[in-house]
Structure 1
């Protein structure tokens, strides 16, 4: 289907346009369009369903209004961009037009950029250029969005070259699109170069750069851009504050996070909606200020799943197990908020902290049965850690063996089971785990060392000698560990 669709984009417009053109000759003797009332274009703009748009399209054909590119563009706009539209139908209308204007091209590019197959927006752009049609400044933000979604560095750089060649690099929306695509590809140096070359930076530009740094684990650079924003006298908006609070969460900058809360949000009377409120709860929770996080959480009038997750995970992280479990039951039982996979990571982590095997087992088993949430590797990891700490090593091994494709145990989850084996002296299980780890990482020498130590603790010196010979034969050496301490200058 994708191959056929791509082929369709690259073909001349023949069949569909001919069938419509044929209907004009038979209709012009019956209808005149000197006084088309009501306006079919206006009706198309007010349309709410494909059934209605089909009727309007039929009337446009009968009255020859379809020859007017503006009228045809209204059909394409609804069919491609509306929630109730039909992108395939929009493309059929587009192909029926002998000379579609740039607005029509941009509309379809925009629709594909936000649809399931964003790379088709790039193909449309290539077709547009092949027909010697010049793109406009409104074309590139959608193309850059598509490039960001497919995380294509090569596409982004080619589009950047076209933008410079056509002189659109000073357009704020184009520049913002370039920032976004480079940040999405992890190319922060390129993003920063674009940012530095923008002469007039508004709140959108600053926010995109801050968000890019924060999402790519560069919180200190994100906060540096926020400081520059202040010097430039550009007022932050809600999205800016969310990005900065995210950076504060990752960098541990509680002082700045609290300053934003007090001097921006409270002083300006900014309402704590679900997005900003969740960012604030998360910032306080990750910085260990559970009391402040709880206060903000209860102040919020509207909460979504992410808000509950931030509070539950924060409580679990800092050992407030009973409060985390109580909040979970309030979430699903009283407020009827649907949990997701992140919710269960927080709840199972709380169970691990307190060693609540029965509660953890019950919650894990209820994930799919009661809430329709498929367990992921993180949930299995929590359960293996919980069971292993409680000495239920055999059950932990059975749980790992029960994992069905596409899930497969990784080195982290096997390492947790191996640690439990050493703690509880389960050498036979440890040997099977080591064999499993070596299938994933053949050069992982650490498991040999741990298994050798277990044999030594059990007085099995023959096995110790054998394992050391294996390590020498394979040339395995223990890599020295290191620690990193960052001190203020």
Structure 2
């Protein structure tokens, strides 16, 4: 597929009627521009084939458009992009950077970005300033401070250690790779800083549970005359939400009010999320109610916050309010929040109605998270067989979390028959976990089936099974 088509020599013809003047020759279609409009790899492959047939793939612009879609698009294929790249005789810097970026952001291949960079250096290609942020994104996704150090040394050698964008990426990567000390060293050695660099180091400290240091840096940033923008404040609030820094979040909120920042959608949503994640539901709701404009993310944050912190009735009422809103429509994340609220409130019938409405009313295909919520809801309501049937109808294989919820329900309601089937499935996924045997053994004991209890104990002893950390045999009851 990636081999250029050999175009044979055309026969010359004496017929003058077949000869066109040069200026009337039909131009080849703008295939490279069509690549930007692709919606699938199938469409891209058709364009690629046409480029090979018409011998236009040698054009770097055309090749780069194919490469960009396959490497970076949500509907692309980074492995196909890699094969494409290998057919290009002299890839330019844009192409190298595109493929490095594609590997870096892919969930399964960030290490390939590092290998591609090594290959680039071995053949003598000098990286540009855009190369390092993409490469550092790969280090961030690998959570590798060691890789970050190696890239850092190359940054210094090439001379980009004073570039704001590169330094910002270095600090972010160190902070996300247990290298906070190195991040601070990079920050301190920077002779000149901009607001983005300040924001990144503040977020790094907040995300590493160093709230006091983060707050001190924020105060220092403001004291040195750097006025945070709305997006930078949103980033800091997001860090506060992740790390539980309520005090710092409140400080940021006061700063927003004092400076007269307009709480537009992004900043307002960040405030709601920060308060909700920290359990300050009343403050979150106050911010939510006072926002002049909300998007679906804002609604989802508030609904989930209410559900998680025991305000299931309010979460469901807010969802019903959203349904009346004409300019914002619920998405799949909305239904995770609502179904979670139903679980906490034990609203089985309403939960069934919501789950069925996803596909029938809203045209949203349920994902495994929605099935997990429904299995949990059915299990808590004692509908063990219905929960098992739902699992069997899932288009995916059930994971340990969903099966564990069903096993917990079996234990609560004494359904040994279903429990035995669930245990078999769980042992296929995790053969060395004896937690499932403990639950089943306890159920046998409650039913007075002592022979089965003895049998399971022998199985556990002979198999030298061990409990898997992080899995609760009793299940999460709330």
Length-normalised TM-score, structure 2: 0.70
- Between 1:248-257 and 1:444-453, the stretch displaced more is 248-257
Query: Is residue 2:259 matched to residue 1:259?
Result: no
5 Å matches for 1:46-445? Answer: 50=33, 105=92, 107-108=94-95, 132=124, 134-137=126-129, 140-141=132-133, 144=136, 158-183=150-175, 190-212=182-204, 218=208, 220-221=209-210, 224-232=213-221, 233=224, 234-262=226-254, 264-405=255-396, 407-410=397-400, 412-445=401-434
Deviations 1:254-290 (A, max 9, x none): 333222212x111101111212111111122233332
Structure 2 match to 1:64: none
**Structure 2 CA distance for aligned equivalents of residues 122 and 473 of structure 1:** 45
Could you list the runs of 5+ residues in structure 1 that have no partner in the other structure?
9-14, 16-29, 31-48, 52-71, 482-489
**Which range moved further: 109-118 or 282-291?**
109-118
Q: Secondary structure at the match of 2:334?
A: helix
The verdict on how the C-alpha distance between 1:154 and 1:476 changes in structure 2, with shifts beyond 3 A counting, is closer
Cα 1:425–1:144 change in 2 (3 A) is closer
Q: Assess, with a 3 A threshold, how the Cα gap between structure 1 residues 186 and 144 changes in structure 2: closer, same or farther.
A: same
Shift of 1:364: 1.4
Residue from 435, 455, 462 that aligns with 1:446: 435
**Partners of 1:452 and 1:123 in 2: CA distance:** 50
TM-score (norm 1): 0.69
Shift of 1:111: 5.5
Change (3 A) 1:177 1:457: same
SS at match of 2:354: helix
In the alignment of these two chains, the number of paired residues is 407
Bigger mean CA offset, 148-157 vs 279-288: 148-157
Contact 2:103-2:113 at 8 Å conserved across structures: no
RMSD, aligned CA: 4.4
Cα distance in 2 between the residues matched to 1:395 and 1:432? 14
CA distance in 1, matches of 2:331, 2:103: 23
Q: Does the 8 A contact of 2:263 with 2:291 survive in 1?
A: yes
Q: Which moves more between the two structures, 105-114 or 352-361?
A: 105-114
**What is the deviation of 1:422?**
1.3
The answer (yes or no) to whether the contact 1:113–1:145 under 8 Å persists in 2 is: no
Task: Check the 8 A contact 1:203/1:236 in 2, yes or no.
Answer: yes
- In 2, Cα distance between equivalents of 1:184 and 1:250: 13
- Which has the higher mean CA deviation after the structures are superposed, 314-323 or 131-140? 131-140
- Kindly provide the CA deviation profile for residues 352-378 of structure 1, in whole angstroms up to 9, marking residues without a partner as x: 111111111121122233334332332
1:231 CA displacement = 2.7
- The answer to whether the 8 Å contact 2:445/2:453 transfers is yes
Q: 2: CA distance between counterparts of 1:74 and 1:235?
A: 41
| Structure 2: 5+ residue stretches without partners | 7-21, 23-31, 35-58, 73-80, 471-478
Aligned partner of residue 374 in structure 1, secondary structure = coil
